[in-house]
Amino acid sequence: MGFQAQVDFGQCWQKNAQGQSVKLYVVAFVLSHSRYKYMEWLNHPFTTRDLINAHENAFRAFGGKPKEMVYDQDNIIIVSENNGDIIYTKQFESYRNDERFQVYACRGFDPESKGKIENVIGFIKKNFAKHRLFTNLDDWNEQGRLWLERRGNGKMHNTTKKRPVEVFQEEKQYLRPVRQLISVPANDKQTYLNSDSSITRVVRKDNTILYKANRYSVPLGTYSNFGKDVQLRIQENTLRIIDSETGEIIGVHEISNQKGALIQERAHKRDRSKGIPAYIESTADKFEDKSLALHYLKEIKSQYPRYVRDQLQLINELWERFPWDYINQALPLCVEQKFYSASEFHDMVNHLIAQRPVEMPKPVSKIQALHHESSHLLDVKPPTRELSVYMEIMEGGDSS
């Protein structure tokens, strides 16, 4: 009890009231012992921050957290795996260390290691999502919560022959406690440095928030003329800034002991308010054939919706590292070969550079033999001087 929870993702198309198809994405959690479930829906693919936020919500719904979490080797969690040596994404590694839970990363569609959660995803699609009309995301998630109470956690489980909600009442006593958000006035003078607390702040015009006489950055474009509230969560020496509307973590800083300092994350200098379309436009402007570049970059966006910003950043970095003419030559070749990724584009540029012709040194002219009519030159002898002339020169004498 309380040892393990399994996590997995799903996606499906839903009809709305206008008859249009809407693609939705779900992450589900299930406690392995009781089969007690939690799910959360988004209308865009999950990012690492979205997943971390879903963990927080799931742990609150469970009233605690297990010792071990089981995942697929999803690229928003794991960068690479080599014979059991797992490299996590930077954000997830930081969160995992903060929450101190173990991770078991299994291969996709492995029923022996995470069959429980794969069954849950199928159960959610067939019994909750099927035949429902989508109105908006808040309503959809609320319907999901009520369905879990009534059906997902309230009905007898086919394997355990018990209602998950009843078994959960006992299992939750074995879960480890989770941090609680405590609402406190923004002008409260108490020290919350060493407590798990949440403090409301308003984002300033320079896209910073104030905490203990220092300014901490948030991404450019966060500030709003209508006012933008964020929540500050303080844990030990770390300050997390959370969007009050979405629950997204938009900044993580180490708390400074200075006074009047600006603590800024480098990534916050990029203006995300311009969005991906503007980033694509500015990247395409660098190519000689802008229209072809726009086509190419939009195709990358469709194939890498989660990582399009990273893809664009890699392509932009090429202009600083390689000759521009080779980058322009690589574009139509990548389109022709359907190489729609920044890494393949990089490889194509390298290939073109490797294929460039090497300038060979000019051959030395061969010595031509004298023709018969010039053979008299062989008898020409240079003029000579007496040795005494050179002796006089060396002794400083006058040789004239």
What does the pLDDT look like over 172-189, one tens digit per residue?
A: 888 887 754 333 333 333
Angle at 271 between CA 345 and CA 331, to 5 degrees: 15
* Highest mean pLDDT out of 89-93, 286-290, 394-398: 286-290
Return the pLDDT at 192.
33
Return the pLDDT at 87.
59
Return the pLDDT at 186.
35
| pLDDT level of residue 361 (50, 70, 90 thresholds) | low
282's enclosing H/E stretch is: helix 275-284
Return the pLDDT at 233.
86
Return the pLDDT at 182.
32
Residues near 113 by beta carbon (within 8 Å), at least 6 away in sequence: 70, 104, 106, 107
Question: Which sign, positive or negative, has the C-alpha torsion 294, 295, 298, 304?
Answer: negative
Beta bridge partners of 239: 234, 253
Stretch 17-35: mean pLDDT: 89
Return the pLDDT at 365.
59
**Of 81-90, 105-114, 191-200, which gets the smallest average pLDDT?**
191-200
Stretch 69-84: mean pLDDT: 63
| pLDDT level of residue 190 (50, 70, 90 thresholds) | very low
Residue 74 has pLDDT above 80, yes or no: no
Domains of the chain, residue spans? 4-174, 183-269, 274-355
Residues near 209 by beta carbon (within 8 Å), at least 6 away in sequence: 201, 202, 203, 215, 216, 218, 230, 232, 241
Stretch 69-82: mean pLDDT: 66
Q: Which residue has the tokens 């989660």?
A: 306
* Spatial contact of 323 and 330, defined as CB atoms under 8 Å apart: no
Burial class (CB in 10 A: 0-12, 13-18, 19+), 22: middle
Beta bridge partners of 12: 24
Return the pLDDT at 299.
92
Q: Which residue has the tokens 């963990």?
A: 55
pTM of the model as a whole: 0.45
From edge to edge, which strands make up the β-sheet containing 102-106? 37-42, 21-31, 4-15, 68-72, 102-106
Return the pLDDT at 397.
55
- Nearest CA among 126, 46, 43 for reference residue 92: 46
* Spatial contact of 376 and 386, defined as CB atoms under 8 Å apart: no
Stretch 354-372: mean pLDDT: 66
Angle at 119 between CA 113 and CA 120, to 5 degrees: 110
| pLDDT level of residue 375 (50, 70, 90 thresholds) | low
Beta bridge partners of 88: 78
- Nearest CA among 198, 254, 259, 205 for reference residue 231: 198
Residue 78 has pLDDT above 50, yes or no: yes
Burial class (CB in 10 A: 0-12, 13-18, 19+), 226: exposed
Residues near 124 by beta carbon (within 8 Å), at least 6 away in sequence: 10, 26, 28, 39, 144, 152
Residue 170 has pLDDT above 80, yes or no: yes
* Spatial contact of 306 and 91, defined as CB atoms under 8 Å apart: no
Q: Give me the CATH code for the 4-174 domain, please.
A: 3.30.420.10
